[in-house]
Amino acid sequence: MKIGIVCYPTFGGSGVLATELGKALAEKGHMVHFITYQQPVRLSGFFTNIFYHEVRVPHYPLFDYPPYETTLASTMVDVVLNNDLDLLHVHYAIPHASAAYMAKQILKKKGKDIPVITTLHGTDITLVGKDKTFEPVVTFSINESDAITAVSNNLRKETYHSFHIEKEIEVIHNFVDVQRFDKKPLDAFRKVLAPNGERIIAHASNFRKVKRVNDIIRIFANITKAVPSKLLMVGDGPDRPGAEELCRELGICDDVRFLGKQQEMEEILAISDLFMLTSEYESFGLSALEAMAAGVPVLSSNAGGIPEINIHGETGYMANIGDINELSRLGIELLKSDEQLNYCKQKAKEQAAKFDIHHIVPLYEELYERFVHVSAAS
Residues making contact with ligand GMT (CB under 6 A) = 12-15, 17, 92, 121-123, 151, 174, 206, 208, 210, 281-286
Task: Give min distance, CB of 97 to ligand GMT, in A.
Answer: 13
Task: Name the residue nearer to ligand GMT (CB basis): 172 or 226.
Answer: 172
Distance CA 267, CA 94 (A): 32
Closest CA to 73 of 38, 97, 109: 97
Which helix (H) or strand (E) is 230 found in, with range?
A: strand 229-234
Contact 62, 89 (CB under 8 A): no
Task: Name the residue nearer to ligand GMT (CB basis): 85 or 178.
Answer: 178
Q: How many CB atoms lie within 10 A of CB 274?
A: 27
Task: Name the residue nearer to ligand GMT (CB basis): 210 or 344.
Answer: 210
DSSP structure string for 249-317 = HHT-GGGEEEEES-S-HHHHHHT-SEEEE--S--SS-HHHHHHHHTT--EEEE--TTGGGT--BTTTEE
Task: Give min distance, CB of 120 to ligand GMT, in A.
Answer: 9
Task: Name the residue nearer to ligand GMT (CB basis): 68 or 189.
Answer: 68
Task: Give min distance, CB of 322 to ligand GMT, in A.
Answer: 16
Q: How many helices (DSSP H) and strands (DSSP E) are in the chain?
A: 15, 13
Contact 68, 57 (CB under 8 A): yes
Task: Give min distance, CB of 58 to ligand GMT, in A.
Answer: 27
- The CA-atom distances, in angstroms, between 115 and each of 70, 104, 175, 315 are 19, 8, 23, 39
Contact 317, 299 (CB under 8 A): yes
Distance CA 285, CA 121 (A): 10
Task: Give min distance, CB of 155 to ligand GMT, in A.
Answer: 7
Task: Name the residue nearer to ligand GMT (CB basis): 96 or 347.
Answer: 96
Task: Give min distance, CB of 16 to ligand GMT, in A.
Answer: 7
Task: Name the residue nearer to ligand GMT (CB basis): 224 or 315.
Answer: 315
Q: How many CB atoms lie within 10 A of CB 118?
A: 29
Task: Give min distance, CB of 284 to ligand GMT, in A.
Answer: 4
Task: Name the residue nearer to ligand GMT (CB basis): 122 or 331.
Answer: 122
Task: Give min distance, CB of 293 to ligand GMT, in A.
Answer: 14
Distance CA 107, CA 91 (A): 20
**Which residues does residue 106 pair with via DSSP β-bridges, in sequence order?**
none
Task: Give min distance, CB of 12 to ligand GMT, in A.
Answer: 3
3-state secondary structure of 354: helix
To 10 degrees, the CA torsion angle through 143, 149, 154, 155?
-50
Task: Name the residue nearer to ligand GMT (CB basis): 190 or 240.
Answer: 240
Question: Cα-flanking dihedrals φ and ψ of residue 267, to 5°?
Answer: -70, -40
Task: Name the residue nearer to ligand GMT (CB basis): 207 or 368.
Answer: 207
